[in-house]
A and B are shown apart, each in its own frame.
Chain A
């Protein structure tokens, strides 16, 4: 295959990987700290897309500023959801999971009522093309890749290097011990939701220049993120990063060479095979 066909495919795969990475690492962080499978995570992604659309297309705010504001908005949304709903069902995995599903339906319903079911597209503000290894690629895609990787690194730094992040990790490892050290567990849970919300919102915002935003747009990335965090291990952020790359590339390559539905099958078969032959996952975490 000629490189001028392969290069855009690779760039797309890279972007999908980064979107999945952003989704999955937030989801896995929330699971680690809150012990919650946050089904409403896909709706934070959707709200990120709508936030960007509202700011940049309707109000005419600068693209980067609106991306930042949309991210902040979904982070605040995450905290609101945590403080008004999840706080009541702390630690009950099944119950809080069903609650999250309810919140997901509610947010999708509100989006449908407020924004309608039309597809909302966002015009890219940067239409230049750049040459990479002799292949011309849209600059906005490169910016999306850089922004995604940058925020991922910033998140890693925040979680592992700052006091606040370490307090959150401590809560993840042992809630009681963290509480005994004077860490406010509820605040840490809200913080995790804020970080997860920001990452999901960024993902939704970045992709919205390439795909349309609809109320149900968050469902598929959420499903992919679920597959990714099984591969990488629940609560394992590096695992989510690696899993994001694997699934992003399988997805893009699979969709081109085999067709979309079959790509979906591959993800599931991948999980099934993984669970049969290596029930402890790629990173040796305990799932059984």
Chain B
């Protein structure tokens, strides 16, 4: 039975990857490719948000870390003349390192204080980006960020980043990689420790778990994902300004995570798909954005607290007369 479920999971995963890989063959319209890129990009960064949320913390400073990665990569590429393939991991490491520095004092306090303190972090990063004009470009940001260098695999395969398709595969690859690694972590002992810390700090501490170290590492990991996502965005968008990474971006990621459900690894994918689709549908009536996002968040919190996937599973199981879904 166990093997059956595992096999089933791998089949679903394989089919998902093949579907994702083949999609551009059927979709010729570049507009839809762009939307899919945005879905995967948002899924990727939402996975980072979910990582720290899985330990019981909501990091509203998250857009700040995406900005750090974005600006780091952009500067390394434009001023340092580094290859994008080197700049992206470096940006991730810079983001993770800043996460360690900021997380060290912040993670020792209660989660309630943590939410509040991280709010101001977005403002701080935005402030630095605006204020330090000579270094960051101020309001205008950084323009003309080059596309990634062509990949040349021993002269056999040569990939040139000439259009959207290559970016599509890049972000799809990043997302699948992140999903696989996070899945591995969740199933490992570390994953169990994370759940233990979320459920009860004191209990986890009493059995000898160094909760501060775990929290710090998870926080830095989440910031690493944010920064990698930011680096991708910088290269894809070719220009970045401080106001891209404002508080609203954090709200959008939160909606994605809550909509899909924090407990489910694929939740962010479902949430991102919903958010991006609706955003595109109401693109021409910007006044309605806030009302729709607000009511989505309220609806999810009041009626489907564990996310829509969980909610639907529960409705199905109730209709069958079975017992409620455990996980």
| With contact pairs A108-B294, A112-B287 given, residues A234 and B121 touching in the complex (Cβ less than 8 Å) | no
Complex Cα–Cα for A229 and B113 (A) = 9
Residue of A37, A215, A226, A267 most packed against chain B (CB within 10 A): A226
B123, A101: Cβ atoms closer than 8 Å = no
Q: How far is the CA of A107 from the CA of B301 in the complex (A)?
A: 16
A262 at the interface (CB under 8 A from B): yes
Known A-B contacts A99-B301, A105-B297; the reply to A265 vs B117 at CB < 8 A is: no
Using known A-B contacts A106-B295, A223-B119, A275-B117, determine if residue A265 contacts B124 with beta carbons closer than 8 Å.
Answer: yes
The interface on chain B, measured as residues whose beta carbon lies within 8 A of the other chain's beta carbons, has a size of 43
**Is A21 an interface residue, CB under 8 A from the partner?**
no
Residues on B with C-beta less than 8 A from A105 are: 251, 290-291, 293-294, 297
Please report which residues of chain B, range 282-309, place their CB below 8 angstroms from some CB of chain A when the two chains form the complex.
287-298, 301-302, 305
Residues B104-135 near A (CB distance < 8 A): 105-106, 108-113, 115-117, 119-121, 123-124, 126-128, 130-131
Q: Does B258 contact A (CB under 8 A)?
A: yes
Dominant SS among interface residues on chain B: helix
Whether A275 lies near B294 (C-beta < 8 A) is no
Distance to closest chain A CB from B129 (angstroms): 9
Q: Check B36 for interface membership: any CB of A closer than 8 A.
A: no
Interface segment, A6-14, A86-94, A119-127?
A: A86-94
In the complex, A95 Cα to B116 Cα: how many Å?
15
Report whether B301 and A265 are in contact in the complex, using a CB–CB cutoff of 8 Å: no
Q: For residue B290, which residues in chain A have a CB less than 8 angstroms away from its CB?
A: 105-106, 108-109, 112, 215
Q: Is the CB of A276 within 8 A of B297?
A: no
| A165 CB-CB contact with B under 8 Å | no
- Can you name 21 A-B residue pairings with CB atoms under 8 Å? A37-B115, A95-B305, A101-B254, A102-B293, A102-B294, A102-B296, A104-B294, A105-B291, A109-B288, A112-B287, A112-B290, A215-B290, A227-B120, A234-B113, A261-B126, A264-B124, A265-B124, A272-B105, A272-B117, A287-B109, A288-B109
- Inter-chain pairs besides A97-B58, A223-B119, 11 sampled, C-beta below 8 Å: A102-B295, A103-B294, A107-B294, A109-B288, A109-B294, A113-B291, A226-B119, A230-B113, A230-B117, A261-B126, A265-B127
